[in-house]
Structure 1
């Protein structure tokens, strides 16, 4: 059973609540910038559209800096680009300056870019014991229990030393660059935004403490400093 406190009537309502929580956190600390790591996919697309249409005027964009949880190794103009999605649906519409986002260069050499992005994040995001501590890390969940392109066959990435690494989707062999476990766990707010009836079964397993080490997403959920779930099933 998934507790009612995590459930919303629609992806739009779940997105509205998540954005509200981000803005409320910013209001509590009005003097400092905030860092957010974004994911891609259908559910974040709803989040971006809601943010632009309903919350753009209330968002202190000058204090927000965006990063990515993961990225497919494609150019930003490719339909599969996570950066491209955010740029089309949100950044481009609000004219967010390029100085306020740090994209993963998906068209670069994957191994080199994972090293470069790890260094960039550690240089621009506050760290504790060399682990970047984002204000918000926004995650999704796959039906197989993966999150941040950390698939069940690569659970070693959950304890990797560097904040980003190369990952390969085991189903279609596409190459990705992904955030590893430590930054997801150490974020001030680790937020799972999940939509679709097809995610109900895996979410029940992820929330089950007895299965915390079986799936990457369940490991993150049970080890994160401040896990939050916004689900529309």
Structure 2
């Protein structure tokens, strides 16, 4: 868990993506051998650029098998829909990196939203560390 907070400003999106990729790689490497690093992805144009950068430049540098990937949000659409955050993340990152499908936990936007929220809550609770019964991610990537 990251304890120190700071704000970093980058001159270009490529500099941001490069810095984030190096940061992510370091945090995954620092994860104890018997644990997974958990990250929640989101949609948006900035994350898409970061996902593509990771796919192009860190595909073989990051220990993806030590990573569990979740989603912070999803639209109520099927996974192949143009508006699906999963589709965007899959096309720009997930299908291009060596990670087991068992380590990718998508929100099923095609399901009934209330039932899906409950299902996903159980997935989070069974795969993440709980503090005061609240699932804790190692890192959450938010769109801008």
- Flag whether TM exceeds 0.5 (same fold): yes
Task: State which of 20, 23, 27 in structure 1 corresponds to 2:29.
Answer: 27
Question: How well do the aligned residues superpose, as a CA RMSD in angstroms?
Answer: 1.3
Query: Is the alpha carbon distance of 1:30 and 1:23 closer, same or farther for their aligned partners in structure 2, counting shifts above 3 Å?
Result: farther
Aligned mates of 1:6, 1:94 — CA distance in 2: 27
Aligned mates of 2:39, 2:73 — CA distance in 1: 13
1:123 aligned residue:
126
- Give the strand-richer structure, 1 or 2: 1
Q: Which runs of 4+ in 1 moved over 4 A?
A: none
How many Å apart are 1:104 and its aligned residue? 0.2
How many Å apart are 1:95 and its aligned residue? 4.8
Which structure 2 segments of 5+ residues have no match?
1-6
Task: State which of 43, 47, 51 in structure 1 corresponds to 2:50.
Answer: 47
How many Å apart are 1:92 and its aligned residue? 1.1
Higher-Rg member (1/2) = 1
Which structure 1 segments of 5+ residues have no match?
142-233
What's the TM-score once normalised by structure 1's chain length? 0.56
What's the TM-score once normalised by structure 2's chain length? 0.90
Aligned mates of 2:32, 2:118 — CA distance in 1: 33
How many residue pairs get aligned? The number is 137
Aligned mates of 2:99, 2:30 — CA distance in 1: 23
